[in-house]
Amino acid sequence: MTVDPDFPIRKVLIANRGEIACRIIRSLRAMGLGSVAVHHAAEAGALHVRMADQAVELFGDTPVAAHLDTAQIIAAATTTGADAIHPGYGFLSENADFARAVADAGLIFIGPSADSIALMGDKISSREFAQAHGVPVAPSVMPTDDLDEFARQAAQIGFPLLIKASAGGGGKGMSIVRDADGLIPAARLAASEAQRYFNDGRIYAELYVERPRHIEVQILGDGENGAIHLHERECSIQRRFQKIVEEAPSAALPPELAAEICAAAVRLAQAASYRNAGTVEFILAPDGRFYFLEMNTRLQVEHPVTEMISGLDLVAAQINIAAGRGLPIRQDQLRRDGHAIECRICAEDPERDFMPETGAIRLLRVPQAPWLRFESGLTEGEAVTADFDPMLAKLVVHGASREQAIERTLDALRELTLLGVTTNIDYLARVIDSPAFRAGDLHTGFVAQHAQALAPAPMADDALAPVLIAAALGFREFRQAVFDVPALHAAIGPWRN
Amino acid sequence: MSFALLLNGTRHEIEIIRRRPHLLLRIDGRDYTVQDPGPAGDGELALTIDGRHVTALRAAGDDAQSLRCDGRTHVVQLADDGGGAGADGGLSELRAPMPGAVIEIHAAPGQRIARGDPLLTIESMKLQTVLAAPRDGTVAEIAVAQDETFGKDQILARLTPEDESDA
């Protein structure tokens, strides 16, 4: 591809690793731009390091610390002559100080302004901003340690209410109150827990949405007033408050409601003069009311499902926006083709409460078809350690309809083989194949609600034997007993027993 | 000759009944004829069991075989009945229940400890857990350092074998 000679970006440093670094390098290559990878010594042989045109080693006590070292990363960009930095997701992607430092170093940050990151990164300021621009937020009581004032405000909102510690996290000081009688005792308990755990007795409360769905909208903003949406995604299948299955568009959402949610997201992006790709997340109640949850000011893990139905390359769009070339399309040019599903392949054990697992990639077989993408930074032989997030890869599948996407996902999951570390591949297949998922009957408590139905089925005897025989023939001790026997003994049979 | 296998944690007996002309195996009391047992090592397998073709993918781990067969993943271990793990059933080793990092070390080699005494505090998924001594005894080794990360099942500490510490 020939590159526009005036294009201000020639070479991009990717301040990330794993599948997303590999995915960004692919778009850079397609655009004719150079790539620089960064890595800690522990991942020197990783795929993103081998794929990039250049690689720079980062030093740090832990691999994660190295990937969070702003000064080293900016120095690496300067030394290698990169013009821009793409932060991917996680790590420094939503760090306003990093975005500012990149700009101060005379480099282009492929992301929003530091001010946008700061505005949306704070729960209170982003909520107030959304509310001020006509984006619905869940009715809530602002943080206070005055229990009488708290009870008065809370009673006005109605029930059920979710009480949380202001300084909270990890479920401490959190409770659901279903009626007025339970309010004061629950508030008192929450405040005392909050004081004990966080040394901050302030609590707040918001309307608790039963069976909520997680609906989010992909937006692109040009940094001025131009902002468009690229449809919504549904990410209601979660465990440990993290998504494991995402799809675009959402399952069984009335078109008018989807349009209304997308319009709210665009309004927010326009009001913020947002620049870059971003995601506005909402909680959707069963009655169709929806509330602003937060805005992620970066590329999202699940962005490929949006790419598959829109035909757009979101990384290329981010780079073009950062280069001042504006949005890739007008809103009225947006198309929507079929349905896409993403499964997050994680090193974890669904039978043990999704605990992360470690091991090594001993065997990897990836399905191939024109309608699927396997996004990973994996290579056979690589160790899977506790140094990084347990997500190993993403399987993204497109179909003409949701039904076809489901069948293709099941075929692909069945074919996908990753041995040497325990993964959630089989669990994901059971989720996708479940009647509730097929029916689009989704909410964020899906995994817990269907825990029994999603447990592995016991194996039939005639399925057990092939597995045991194939396994036995892998053990040296067993093979010796079968093959390394003098012919005479073999002919006599198991006389020693 | 008989072997015991653990499939997803459940024990199965697999006995070699006959080797020629075809391998005849007895599993949990039922006989199976195996043709084309295939080469050793990792990769694709194509077996014929009782005349039926079976394909699987296999990879060897440290002490287990991982298999992908019929769209399901399995881990099979060879049960060690020879007592290699120690007569005390592994109570001389403290293994990591999950991957994580060492937050604090509570005991030093040579120290006498009672069952239930804290040996290490570990952190995994932002949760801290205290790992306690599995029995009374003497600490032989703390196999990890402060802040060191470890994988699941890695040995974190060892106690002096019972007979020695009792002597």
What is the CATH code for A139-207? 3.30.1490.20
Closest CA to A308 of A389, A426, A394, A367: A394
- B106 assigned to some structural domain: yes
CATH assignment of the domain containing B134 = 2.40.50.100
Q: Which residue, of B27, B52, B78, is where some domain finishes? A: B78
Of the candidates A363, A479, A497, which has its C-beta nearest B42's C-beta? A363
> How distant is the alpha carbon of residue A241 from its chain centre?
11
Q: What CA–CA distances, in Å, run from B52 to A59, A432, B72?
A: 55, 30, 19
**pLDDT number for residue B162:** 65
Chain B CB contacts of A42 below 8 Å: none
**pLDDT number for residue A2:** 54
Residue B134 and residue B101 in one domain: yes
- B139 assigned to some structural domain: yes
Q: What CA–CA distances, in Å, run from A239 to A16, A253, A318, A445, B15?
A: 24, 22, 30, 8, 42
Chain-chain contact of B149 with A359 (C-beta, under 8 angstroms): no
Chain-chain contact of A465 with B30 (C-beta, under 8 angstroms): yes
Chain B CB contacts of A422 below 8 Å: 75
Q: Which domain holds residue B125?
A: 93-166
The overall average pLDDT reported for chain A is 93
Chain-chain contact of B151 with A491 (C-beta, under 8 angstroms): no
For residues B15 and B26, the answer to whether their CB atoms sit within 8 Å is yes
Q: What CA–CA distances, in Å, run from A244 to A218, A235, A247, A314?
A: 18, 8, 10, 21
Residue B62 and residue B39 in one domain: yes
Of the candidates B14, B74, B99, which has its C-beta nearest A472's C-beta? B14
- B84 assigned to some structural domain: no
E strand or H helix that includes residue A295: strand A290-296
Chain A: residue whose CA lies nearest to B99:
A386
Strand partners, B155: B95
Chain-chain contact of B72 with A470 (C-beta, under 8 angstroms): no
Q: Does domain A11-110 bear CATH number 3.30.70.260?
A: no
Asked if the model's pLDDT at residue B85 lies above 60, the reply is: no
**pLDDT number for residue B122:** 87
Instruction: Give the pLDDT mean for B49-71.
Output: 93
Chain-chain contact of A426 with B65 (C-beta, under 8 angstroms): no
Tens of pLDDT, residue by residue over A208-266, are 999 999 999 999 999 998 999 999 999 999 998 899 999 999 998 999 999 999 999 99
For residues A251 and A243, the answer to whether their CB atoms sit within 8 Å is no
- Report the distance separating Cα A302 and Cα A427, nearest Å: 19
Chain B CB contacts of A363 below 8 Å: 42-43, 57-59, 66, 68
- B87 assigned to some structural domain: no
In this structure, the strands spanning A203-207 and A242-248 are unpaired
- B153 assigned to some structural domain: yes
Asked if the model's pLDDT at residue B89 lies above 90, the reply is: no
Chain A: residue whose CA lies nearest to B13:
A468
Of the candidates B18, B45, B152, which has its C-beta nearest A493's C-beta? B18
- B111 assigned to some structural domain: yes
B122-155 as b/e, with b when 16 or more CB fall inside 10 Å? Answer: bebbeeebebebbebbbbbebebeeeebbbbbbe
Tens of pLDDT, residue by residue over A371-414, are 999 999 999 999 998 888 899 999 999 999 999 999 999 999 99
Asked if the model's pLDDT at residue B127 lies above 90, the reply is: no
Residue B100 and residue B67 in one domain: no
Residue B31 and residue B65 in one domain: yes
Asked if the model's pLDDT at residue B83 lies above 70, the reply is: no
Single-letter amino acid code for the residue at B41: G
| Number of domains within chain B | 2
Tens of pLDDT, residue by residue over A436-449, are 999 999 999 999 99
Closest CA to A383 of B64, B95, B151, B154: B151
Map out the domains of chain A as residue ranges.
11-110, 139-207, 213-449, 461-492
Chain-chain contact of B73 with A472 (C-beta, under 8 angstroms): no
C-alpha distance from B38 to closest chain A C-alpha (Å): 8
Which CATH superfamily groups domain A213-449? ATP-grasp fold, B domain (3.30.470.20)
Determine phi and psi for A333, rounding to 5 degrees.
Answer: -95, -5
Instruction: Give the pLDDT mean for A345-356.
Output: 94
- Quick one: pLDDT band at residue A95, thresholds 50, 70, 90? very high
Q: Which residue, of B15, B44, B78, is where some domain finishes? A: B78
Closest CA to A305 of A263, A237, A250, A246: A246
Angle between helices A114-121 and A96-104 (to 10 degrees): 170
C-alpha distance from B123 to closest chain A C-alpha (Å): 11
**pLDDT number for residue A168:** 66
Q: What CA–CA distances, in Å, run from B144 to A356, A360, B134?
A: 20, 20, 17
Six token digits for residue A38: 């960064």
Residue B6 and residue B72 in one domain: yes
- Report the distance separating Cα A76 and Cα A11, nearest Å: 12
For residues A446 and A236, the answer to whether their CB atoms sit within 8 Å is yes
Please count the other Cβ atoms lying within 10 Å of the Cβ belonging to residue A399.
19
C-alpha distance from B48 to closest chain A C-alpha (Å): 9
Q: Which residue, of B19, B50, B78, is where some domain finishes? A: B78
Q: In what order do the strands lie in the sheet with B93-95?
A: B93-95, B155-159, B137-142, B112-113
Span between the terminal Cα atoms of chain A, in Å: 72
**pLDDT number for residue B64:** 92
Chain B CB contacts of A420 below 8 Å: 59, 61, 66
For residues A466 and B69, the answer to whether their CB atoms sit within 8 Å is yes
Asked if the model's pLDDT at residue A342 lies above 80, the reply is: yes
Q: How many residues does chain B have?
A: 167
Picking from A386-400, B62-76, B105-119, which range would have the lowest pLDDT averaged per residue? B105-119
Single-letter amino acid code for the residue at A159: F
Instruction: Give the pLDDT mean for A197-211.
Output: 87
Selected residue of B17, B44, B67 to mutate for chain A interface (largest A Cβ count, 10 A): B67
Same fold, A139-207 and A213-449: no
Asked if the model's pLDDT at residue A339 lies above 70, the reply is: yes
Picking from A277-286, A404-413, B10-19, which range would have the lowest pLDDT averaged per residue? B10-19
Give me the percent of chain A exceeding a pLDDT of 70.
96
Chain-chain contact of B68 with A358 (C-beta, under 8 angstroms): no
pTM listed for this prediction: 0.84
- Quick one: pLDDT band at residue A491, thresholds 50, 70, 90? low
Of the candidates B1, B14, B59, which has its C-beta nearest A419's C-beta? B59
Span between the terminal Cα atoms of chain B, in Å: 38
Tens of pLDDT, residue by residue over A451-490, are 999 999 988 878 999 999 999 999 999 999 998 765 555 4
CATH assignment of the domain containing B28 = 3.30.700.30
Single-letter amino acid code for the residue at B80: D
- Quick one: pLDDT band at residue B128, thresholds 50, 70, 90? confident
> How distant is the alpha carbon of residue A50 from its chain centre?
24
B16-32 as b/e, with b when 16 or more CB fall inside 10 Å? Answer: bbbbeeebbbbbeeeeb
Chain-chain contact of A356 with B45 (C-beta, under 8 angstroms): no
Of the candidates B17, B125, B147, which has its C-beta nearest A356's C-beta? B125
Higher pLDDT, residue A201 or A137: A137
Chain B CB contacts of A40 below 8 Å: none
